[in-house]
């Protein structure tokens, strides 16, 4: 958990560089789904991320899990991008470095801002069909059949490659990364760093400058909490808890907790 406000008042962006350099759990599930498909059908997996240079650690993790190569979109001009601009930037990189892609898999959300928006917007940028929150994937020739649970409906859907899915976290439990895999990932870095100029992008249309949304404030909603700390023997603690909060807890459970001894 971030201990200070990772908010840069000067630039008006969340300082994602202060969040720890770990792959989003949801993205690990997406990579696991890709690895499963590769085992069944063959293929070549490129892991792509956009972020500060610390993102390299995430890509090493991806290689350790089994990705064949990685693209790291990193450039000061890309910083502060909202999902609109992030999907734009990713799409341009995919067009250049993965022009013959068949399938894009995304995590269904991120831990830092849970927007779940980049996947659908990336599909729009590349003009391909997309299905979110997928539980099961079945590929047969050039047709992808997926199952998902959407707002109380269990749906089976099909679309043709190339296409995009975002993968739910209920399935595709990420594989365990053996230590040797991590070692390989550090020795043999198939990670390509890509800048805005490599993509031929005008800095005015990417990053914070190009983003239609602007953050005007970031604040901690429960900073006003008193945070009372109780220590000691469990019995004593519980007695103290009731002494201080019996009315409050009793009111919530609608029972009188008063103890006259």
Contact segment (CB under 8 A) with other proteins among 55-63, 166-174, 184-192, 196-204 equals 166-174
Report the residue number, 100 or 260, with the smaller CB distance to other proteins: 260
Nearest approach in angstroms of CB 181 to other proteins is: 21
> Which residues from 178-237 bind other proteins, rule CB under 8 A?
211-222, 225-235, 237
Report the residue number, 76 or 249, with the smaller CB distance to other proteins: 249
Comparing CA positions, the residue from 212, 218, 193 lying closest to residue 87 is: 212
Instruction: Determine if 133 is a binding residue for other proteins (CB under 8 A).
Output: yes
Contact 180, 63 (CB under 8 A): no
Beta bridge partners of 150: 153
Nearest approach in angstroms of CB 201 to other proteins is: 16
> Which residues from 1-40 bind other proteins, rule CB under 8 A?
1-2, 5-7, 14, 19, 25-26
Strand 69-73 to 191-194 pairing:
parallel
Instruction: Determine if 161 is a binding residue for other proteins (CB under 8 A).
Output: no
Cβ-in-10-Å burial (0-12, 13-18, 19+) of 6 comes to: middle
Strand 191-194 to 130-140 pairing:
unpaired
Cβ-in-10-Å burial (0-12, 13-18, 19+) of 77 comes to: buried
Report the residue number, 143 or 190, with the smaller CB distance to other proteins: 143
> Which residues from 67-106 bind other proteins, rule CB under 8 A?
82-84, 87
């Amino acid at each position: 958990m971030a201990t200070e406000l990772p908010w840069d008042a000067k630039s008006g962006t969340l300082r994602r560089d202060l969040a720890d350099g770990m792959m989003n759990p949801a993205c690990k599930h997406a990579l696991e789904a890709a690895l499963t498909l590769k085992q069944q059908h063959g293929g070549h997996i490129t892991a792509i991320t956009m972020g500060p240079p610390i993102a390299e650690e995430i890509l090493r993790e991806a290689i350790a899990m089994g990705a064949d190569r990685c693209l790291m979109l990193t450039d000061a001009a890309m910083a502060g991008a909202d999902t609109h601009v992030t999907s734009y930037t990713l799409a341009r990189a995919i067009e250049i470095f993965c022009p013959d892609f068949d399938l894009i898999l995304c995590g269904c959300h991120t831990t830092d801002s849970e927007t779940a928006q980049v996947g659908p917007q990336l599909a729009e940028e590349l003009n391909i069909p997309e299905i979110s929150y997928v539980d099961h994937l079945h590929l047969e020739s050039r047709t992808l059949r997926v199952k998902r649970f959407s707002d109380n409906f269990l749906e089976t859907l099909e679309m043709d490659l190339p296409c995009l899915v975002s993968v739910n976290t209920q399935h595709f439990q990420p594989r365990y990364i053996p230590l040797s895999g991590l070692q390989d990932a550090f020795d043999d870095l198939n990670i390509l760093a890509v800048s805005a100029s490599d993509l031929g992008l005008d800095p005015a249309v990417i990053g914070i400058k190009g983003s239609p949304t602007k953050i005007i404030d970031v604040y901690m909603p429960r900073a006003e909490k008193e945070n009372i700390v109780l220590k000691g023997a469990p019995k004593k603690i519980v007695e103290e808890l009731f002494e201080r909060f019996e009315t409050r807890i009793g009111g919530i459970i609608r029972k009188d907790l008063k103890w006259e001894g």
